[in-house]
């Protein structure tokens, strides 16, 4: 899975210098390589595998997704609402424990993308 591999590389430090979860997420969404839901599910799996904080990873994915949506639509507030709606949908598809991490990540991201 290209999405998971790209995110895992940056999370574990083997990605390109200067890349972050935010920039990789933005680029994956802009190129159509993955959706918000795909990216959230991938970082949740990566967090379980690596012991990284899922909440912060999910926040960064959402911020990157909002950046991508803003760049493609030019509408900041609408882009943020759409991405957050998709992220909340993803939270409902992930197990109870993971859903909580996604919800916390969404809350953190909402503070940033207002």
CB atoms < 10 A from the CB of 73, how many?
Answer: 11
Domains of the chain, residue spans: 2-113
**Is the pLDDT score of 95 beyond 90?**
no
| Better pLDDT: 14 or 76 | 14
**Is the pLDDT score of 1 beyond 70?**
no
pLDDT in tens, 27-84: 999 999 999 999 999 999 999 999 999 999 999 999 999 999 888 877 777 888 889 8
Question: If you ran DSSP here, which 8-state letter would residue 77 be given?
Answer: H
Return all residues near 89 (Cβ < 8 A) that are at least 6 apart: 37
Q: How far apart (Å, rounded) are the C-alpha atoms in residues 99 and 87?
A: 10
What pTM was estimated for this model as a whole? 0.89
């Amino acid at each position: 899975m290209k999405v998971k591999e790209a995110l895992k590389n940056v999370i574990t430090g083997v990605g390109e210098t200067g890349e972050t979860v935010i920039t990789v997420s933005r680029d994956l969404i802009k190129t159509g390589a993955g959706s918000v839901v795909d990216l959230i599910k991938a970082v949740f799996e990566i967090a379980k595998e690596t012991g990284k904080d899922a909440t912060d990873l999910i926040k960064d994915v959402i911020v990157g997704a909002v950046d991508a949506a803003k760049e493609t639509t030019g509408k900041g507030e609408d882009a943020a609402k759409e991405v957050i709606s998709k992220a909340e949908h993803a939270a409902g598809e992930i197990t109870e424990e993971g859903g909580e991490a996604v919800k916390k990540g969404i809350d953190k991201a909402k503070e940033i993308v207002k």
